[in-house]
Structure 1
Amino acid sequence: MNATQEARSPKAVRISSTPDELADISPLLDAAAAGVGDVPALLALAKDVGETAPKPGTGSTAFLWEILASITAVDVAAGRILEPHLDAAAILAQAGAADFDDAPVDLPFDGTWGVFAAEAPGLRLEAQDADGAVVLNGSKPWCSIAAQLDHAVLTAHLDGGGRAAFAVDLHAAGVSFADPEWTSLGLREVPSGTVHFDAVPAIPLGPAGWYYQRPGFAWGGMGVAACWFGGAVAVARNYAESLKKAADGGREPDQLALAHLGEIDRTLTGLTQYLARTAARIDAGELSGAGAWSEALRVRGSVAAAVERVQSLVSQNLGPAPLAFDARYGKRMADLSLYIRQHHAMRDDAQLGALTFKGDHPW
């Protein structure tokens, strides 16, 4: 299968849905394949998907993750653009359903959205009272393609301490975008830079801490892992097709190549079963309490480790040629390597270990 054929016939990534259910994803995958490298087209796809995609915890979490994984398998950057848009939709829905002391949140989900919650030394975004309203002042780092988005859910520091989430119009007066100075060869279409806010009106989405304490925070983190999983599946599919192509040309895979394919198979099959079980637990209400974040750390860590292992095995077997001469393969490997760095490796494991030490574990 060459790159053109792969682009013409994208295949969904199955977690637990039936083939008929997955068939509904096919038009989305065709659109993702047609939009590779075209950010406006991928944003238009995100808007279309956002109108119909299920929210996590509402009975179809596995299908949501299949959408994320399948589009990322077509193009990692497409998944990277889609995921925060769907996460923002979920956050607004969760804020709308929450029982806050103030008036309930009721925001239309229109346009394109990002989610910006990262922090960086020397940069601080503050939410301040302005005659009963809230305005944002300061700077927010790691805001991916912010200049091309309409809205964002972001976190800001409060005068009384802590951080809270807010919805903001990125076209509002007082919003300015620094040059991202993005030099990465991975996710070149999705540069992250700093956004500056000067007395920009914002709508609160819950009190201090709500953004991080809600179960949806953990669910959203697992949605990112579903994207990583889709990227790993695409790398594995590419490897299997390469072995078949070589065999068709008279070069049968040796024992080492088959052993690595077998390891990839059991790794991805195990993750598929884990994601299916976890999605079912979310929908059953079993991951809506204190244990949700522990499970998110397990899922994210397991998927991130699997991605790196699959990439390593495939790179060792295929050698330098596809990295040098296959643009689609090289792009996927570079995009995925950068994307999984959202996982903080041993620091996340240390956080999980602290929770485990307190007794938050299933064993």
Structure 2
Amino acid sequence: MALTFGVEEEFLVVDATGRPVPAGRAVLADAVSDGSDGEDKELQPEMIASQVESATPVCTSVGELVGHLDRLRETLAASARDHSLRLIASGTPPLGEASPPPLTPERRYHRIADHFRNLMKSANVCGCHVHVGVPDRETGLHVLNHLRPWLPALLAVSANSPFADGADTGYASWRHMQMSNWPSAGPPPLLRSPAEYDATLATMTRSGALLDPGMAYWDIRLSPTYPTVEIRVCDVMITTSEAALIAVLTRGLVATALRRDDAPEVAQEVVRADLWLAGRDGLRGRCAAPSGSPPASRVLDRLVAEVRPVLEDEDRDFVDRVTDRLAQVGDGATRQRAAFARAGRTEDVVAMLAEATAARLTVSDRGCAGSRSR
């Protein structure tokens, strides 16, 4: 039986000029996803008031996952349009915003702002989090240790935040650089037991680096809420097909880890350095993988080769189709820069993102996601 999985996506709400506006709650108030009865667990506010978050139900197939990703994006985008606003999937706001960005009015968020002070300037970033079900925390920690060396590859594939404050940062994932400022961000250390995992978070909380264990912003962690491992390294991606691709590859890495014993012992400093390089160059440079540091354009091939033996037929069809297209059009950062290059206007980047964020999968992709033929 396939491992269960689900995806959380964070989005920016922007006005007609492309600048973030603190209207997340207003957009959510008018957005009702299927199956909602009162409080909607699929659509939620985020700490920053110009963001909204979607969370798919637990899924078992890529076709099911894609259907929910499409539905939730459409719901949020339609509500944003009703407020004369736009929804965009970008790891950072391409255009400038208030500094620090306005917070959603919840007590915990204000405690975080008081404690971490000027770091809040780097808080308006949007990620894609993939949850994969595991039977217990021991198994989850085994998976974390196996996936640590693959985090740079996942970041390179998902890189989608080259612009900030109207300028090109020179990085493919400026979001990753911003998140790296937080004391609980980055790759987790190699931990040998759930007790050591919990003790590490307890020590960080006592020191003040965390307000509570839920603030562990590691690139991969044991979910504090669900019986899952949560992979948090990725930027939110422009299209649902890319989000589903990352989810399928991540589930494949988890399934592969479950077949193996000892995890590779890659030093923390090495993983951090590899993540920095992946965040700088995305799929256009070189990127580390457990078997070496090939051109990043080949890292996606290595990821697919690593997980192909555990993929369902439906997964293989979908992965092949989407990776072929990514090889042609590039990662999100490349496409954002291409939109800018046409006229030298960051506003054109926002327009491209708004159109693509709300678009369903192409007919060919959807046929692939729903088919079991090869």
Query: Is the shorter-chain TM-score for this pair beyond 0.5, marking a shared fold?
Result: no
Q: Which has the larger radius of gyration?
A: 1
| TM-score, length basis structure 1 | 0.29
More helix by percentage: 1
| TM-score, length basis structure 2 | 0.29
The one of the two structures with greater contact order (alpha-carbon pairs below 8 A, sep at least 6) is: 2
